[in-house]
Amino acid sequence: MKTLLRLLVRLLFRFRAFNEAALRTPGPVLLIPNHTSWFDWLFLGVCLEDDWKFVTSSTTAKKSWLHKFVMVNDRTFPIDNASPYAVKHMAEFLLKGGKLVLFAEGRLSKTGTLMKLFDGTGFLIHKTHAKVITAYLRGASRLPYSPNPGWKRCFPTVTAHFSDALSAPHAEHLSTSQSRALFTRWLRDAMVGQQFRTEMDFGPATLPAAIAEAAADMPGKVILEDATLSALTYRKLLLGARLMGERIAAAGAASASSPSHIGVLLPNVNATPVVLLALWQQGKVPAVLNYSTGTATMLACIELAGLKQVVTSRTFLARAKLDAAPFEQAGVQLLYLEDLRKLITSWDKATAFLSTLFNFQLSTFNSQPSDTAVILFTSGSEGVPKGVELTHRNILANIRQMMAVTDLTDQDRLFNCLPLFHSFGLTVGLLVPLVRGMYCFIYPSPLHYRVIPSVLYDRDCTVLLSTNTFLNGYGRKAHTYDFRSMRYLFAAAEKLQEATAQTWSQRFGVRVLEGYGATECAPCLSVNTPLEPSYGSVGRFMPGVEWRLESVEGIGEAPPQPPPHQPTAPHSPNANPQTPDPRPQTPAVPTGRLFVRGPNIMKGYLNLDANAKFQAHGGWYDTGDIVSVDADGFVTIRGRLKRFAKISGEMVSLTAVEDALAGAFPHYGLRMATAVVTRPDEDKGEALICCTNEPRLTSAEIRDAIKSKGLSNLCVPREIVVVKEIPKLGTGKTNHRELQTMVQSKK
């Protein structure tokens, strides 16, 4: 019978199983799969020998004769879910050398991704020391009658991926309750990590291929909309990319040279993703320019990337008040969208439509996962912008990392007003929806504080990306009902202030989930989720991210470093993807300078000096941030190393001082802003300067705010400098470099 069923699922679902040899591991052993469809038992059963038993619910089996037939037989292990002895019976069976298949979620997933695991599984692992094999059923969530949102197909491709037999990291000093919680988290990390690695191994290898795969599943779905209310389905998106790619290629052929890097100078409109896909189709690398930095900085970035052509729009240049002359004088050919569109004939549209009618694959000129997909430029908040090369593999890895730890579905609707020249706005705000199949509304500016909440409300958006600065603006202008549909509110790019989180929680009933990353990391390194939140932290590291801390004099203590022959830090929960260790390694929370590496870390810098330093670390990226990582793996940002001042021999975090001042003066109104910079001081080494746009702020008020947060007197700024406005970057971050210049000019 098993042979017949296996042949049947092979014919209907093109079913294949990987690493089945692990299933021959002698008991006691637990097989823990994800649970997304009613037919999961079938895909697993055709791979298992008769000594395996499925844990089923005897209560559910009483619903009908069919339930009883499926759930109570010689291949099942029925338990009473309400009985306190259910786990004990399973433990007894395992201790006799048994093999159990246990759906640790306890229910079918409603999201298509891993939901919470019941900690009874952790108790079983603790008591029996059973080996654990995790299984990832890929594609089963698309079966009909599965309770997951999104598209369904009668016979989708389904594959089963089994891990090696894993041994949980037992520790004698832990209590039963501690072991239960830690082993449950260890198991979840193992399952999430397996999903991520499987998607990387078996999913599309390049961004155009991943987007085309999603388009083939739902070609008529409206996937993009912009402020002009122009909507694009997947079919229109790929059709436009094909047509635009041909026009750009023709313009390049007509020029003296056809470089591989082409600049993109466009706002958040539908044309921007069309251009990105068009360039990928032609085997070109888009270099997305940050128009908020000004012409001089953009020209420096153009020279750094070796750009000879830039795709832009006359309408955009006029609205942004950018002059084309400096670019043309620098020898840059501006390719205007208005001119390129005029070159597209009706015949071109007809032939392109026919070519995409049954074939959604974009020609990518044999693009490889290791090829550069996009060039982005760092914010330059503390120095000259760097050119960052992110490969297809880097960005896809980050997308799949986020999809593994969140329960985003096809039905979610994302609102993105973060600029696409920023990695957060590009990867999370645009490419995640395109690859996942989510509707995305892209808005040209995050500064329209009154308009954005209304648009988000009108479009019933469920996901919003923002920064602390912009969230404060929306909090002042929005109606309390504007965010009624919000499921996810992610904040990153700058420190989330306590006052901001409280405003959104109390006024709008929305929890802000803070994350952390960098352009060089494509960008996400860690994030809080509804399943694993920790307020004040930036969440846990993404699956596949390895990390280590280096000690910094005067700032906490890093944990002991591994011997030279060990490739990763032993304290990292993801140092060994097969057996992540959730146990704390030191009694104190380790703190130090964060280094990371993983599949989402950049290919390198365009800047020769910066790239040489990066390559010298052997794949490790120096974030320059001082962080602490607790025993559960939650990361807390203490500040950037450059944003620490040495006062009287002690290291003082400027970020901590800014956090203490943020929201401490409500009597001055919500528009008040503060930031902290330094100046040399002969007596104490450095002195803190508080910059504010509120002329009535006094030193006494600042001192009281600092003391109320439990900070020492060294954290009290020595001076107050009043400025008209705290300078900001296009991403919402404080421009400390410009602010420092402003303060120096006042001396």
- CATH code of the domain containing 306: 3.40.50.12780
pLDDT of residue 100: 96
**Does residue 178 lie in a domain region?**
yes
**Does residue 501 lie in a domain region?**
yes
Do 576 and 710 belong together in one domain? Answer: no
pLDDT, greater one: 231 or 649: 231
Which residues make beta-bridge pairs with 128? none
Give the SS3 label for residue 288: strand
Q: Which of 232-236, 321-325, 641-645, 694-698 has the lowest mean pLDDT?
A: 641-645
Do 14 and 144 belong together in one domain? Answer: yes
**CATH of residue 58:** 3.40.1130.10
Do 431 and 344 belong together in one domain? Answer: no
**Does residue 622 lie in a domain region?**
no
Q: How confident is the model at residue 557 (pLDDT cuts 50, 70, 90)?
A: low
Please determine, for residue 310, whether its predicted confidence score (pLDDT) is greater than 90.
Answer: yes
Do 168 and 24 belong together in one domain? Answer: yes
Closest C-alpha among 732, 731, 633, 564 to residue 193: 633
Q: How confident is the model at residue 227 (pLDDT cuts 50, 70, 90)?
A: very high
**Does residue 237 lie in a domain region?**
yes
Do 140 and 214 belong together in one domain? Answer: no
Q: Tell me the residue ranges of DSSP E strands in 117-185.
A: 131-138, 159-162
- What mean pLDDT comes out for the span 257-261? 73
Could you give the C-alpha distances from 663 to 113, 300, 447, 450, 462, in angstroms and in order?
A: 38, 37, 20, 21, 27
Q: What is the rounded distance in angstroms from the CA atom of residue 280 to the CA atom of residue 206?
A: 10
Q: What is the rounded distance in angstroms from the CA atom of residue 180 to the CA atom of residue 120?
A: 7
pLDDT of residue 577: 40
> With left for phi above 0 and alpha for psi between -120 and 50, is residue 441 left, alpha or beta?
beta
172, 202, 232 - which closes a domain: 202
639, 667, 701 - which closes a domain: 639
Query: Which of 152-156, 281-285, 364-368, 411-415 has maximum average pLDDT?
Result: 411-415
Six-digit token pair at 408?
């985003």
**Does residue 340 lie in a domain region?**
yes
Total domains present in the chain: 5
Six-digit token pair at 213?
């795969």
Do 420 and 561 belong together in one domain? Answer: no
Do 98 and 186 belong together in one domain? Answer: yes
Give the structural domain span for 672.
Answer: 648-745
What is the per-residue pLDDT across 98-115, written as a single tens digit (0 to 9) for each? Answer: 999 999 998 899 998 999
- What mean pLDDT comes out for the span 25-29? 94
Do 536 and 450 belong together in one domain? Answer: yes
pLDDT of residue 562: 46
Q: Which run of H or of E encompasses 252?
A: helix 234-254
What is the per-residue pLDDT across 327-371, written as a single tens digit (0 to 9) for each? Answer: 999 999 999 999 999 998 888 888 878 777 766 665 556 789 999
**CATH of residue 720:** 3.30.300.30
Do 162 and 58 belong together in one domain? Answer: yes
Closest C-alpha among 597, 242, 241, 243 to residue 397: 597
Do 168 and 228 belong together in one domain? Answer: no
Closest C-alpha among 137, 106, 115 to residue 9: 137
Give the SS3 label for residue 111: coil
DSSP state of 728: B
**Does residue 578 lie in a domain region?**
yes
Please determine, for residue 641, whether its predicted confidence score (pLDDT) is greater than 50.
Answer: yes
Which residues are catalytic, by number? 35
**Does residue 380 lie in a domain region?**
no
Do 198 and 218 belong together in one domain? Answer: no
**Does residue 308 lie in a domain region?**
yes
Closest C-alpha among 587, 519, 580, 514 to residue 545: 580
Q: Would you say the pTM of this structure is higher than 0.75?
A: yes
Do 157 and 94 belong together in one domain? Answer: yes
